[in-house]
Amino acid sequence: MEPISSLDARIDEILTPEEYLRRGTAVLLANELAVTAIPQTEIQYPHWNNRYMNKLRGHSIPKAGILCDGGLAAIFSDPQLQIDDTDNHWYAYSFLSQEVARRKNKAKYAYLGTGNVASIFASAKAGTIIMLNSCTAADIPTPGQDTPRLYNSELMYQAWRDTCSAYSSAENSTALALQKSLKFIIRAPIANHGTYSTIEGLLDKRDLSTEEWEAGPRVTYTVIDEHEVDNEDRNMDMDKDAFAMLCGTANGRPVVRMCADHAQSLGGKRVVRVHVWYDMPKNEAFAALVFELA
């Protein structure tokens, strides 16, 4: 598998379909080896607060469905997902590097906009992580300090870990048990050119009608055994190469890498389905991916 430094890509980077397939196949194999190892793999990384600060703390929104102009609510209610968004159980993480967050550096790093390295919401009750955006350029080290960078895969995991810890205290349950309940990871809205072109290329192969394209195609790619799949469901696709390609994109690889690095604490999770929105609801200029774990 490639070095972890290659897991975060430029937003305008577009690779060949063969390269996305190769990368996806490699990271899926790493996940499989981590899950089947005895004991299962668990890699320790530095705590996020060594290098970053969280601009958002605790319950910042009553319902995550309001995000993306309400587009996430439509995804949550999809018949194949049915993600719980009934009350205030979402924890918010807006990770900024400490160097960028310092008041004295405000003008220096104004070109970074919000300065977010990653914007993440997580709910132990819903078993869901949402990564709204990430920006590699904003991940600037503090001069004179040896603070290793954490990549998207690890920022997602540590946000999930901290969410489970906080929720377990509130609900008098076990944080380690909650960590194993992760079921969905949502990457939306997707602006990465390579991911978007990969989705478009895969949907092109499906010979969709003009009406289907205008409706904004929504397809699920799966690696579950064929006998478990309803072959009459036009929105279900058993194309394993397509599945691997999606997992090999800049938005997919961090998800699978997280499952590989933390196979033990996540309970041996693998990605089994990728739910694809070519046009994200209420955000038609962007795509959305939901990675389903089991």
Cα pseudo-dihedral 112, 113, 118, 124, rounded to 10:
170
Sign of CA dihedral 88, 94, 98, 103: negative
Confidence of residue 31 (pLDDT cuts 50, 70, 90): very high
The confidence score (pLDDT) of residue 217 equals 81
Residues 172-194: what's their mean pLDDT?
A: 94
Residue with tokens 């055994």: 225
> Which of 271, 274, 243 lies closest to 257, judged by CA?
271
Residue 220: which domain range? Answer: 4-293
Percent of the chain scored above 90 by pLDDT?
78
The confidence score (pLDDT) of residue 83 equals 97
Task: Tell me how many helices (H) and strands (E) the chain has.
Answer: 9, 9
Which range, of 25-34, 80-89, 95-104, averages the lowest pLDDT?
A: 80-89
* Residues 239, 17: Cα–Cα separation, whole Å: 14
* Residues 272, 269: Cα–Cα separation, whole Å: 9
Residue with tokens 């190892």: 37
The confidence score (pLDDT) of residue 3 equals 40
**Mean pLDDT over all residues of the chain?**
90
Q: Per-residue pLDDT tens for 33-88? A: 999 999 999 999 999 999 999 988 766 678 999 999 999 999 999 999 999 998 88
Q: Is the pLDDT of residue 9 over 60?
A: no
Question: What is the value of pTM for the model shown?
Answer: 0.92
- Count of domains in the chain? 1
The side-by-side arrangement of strands in the sheet containing 52-54 is 52-54, 91-97, 118-123, 128-134, 184-190, 287-293, 271-277, 218-222, 236-237
Q: Is the pLDDT of residue 144 over 80?
A: yes
The confidence score (pLDDT) of residue 227 equals 46
> Which of 23, 2, 13 lies closest to 244, judged by CA?
23
Strand residues in 124-180 grouped as ranges (E): 128-134
Q: Per-residue pLDDT tens for 216-272? A: 889 999 987 544 544 445 577 778 999 999 999 999 999 999 999 999 999 999 999
The confidence score (pLDDT) of residue 59 equals 66
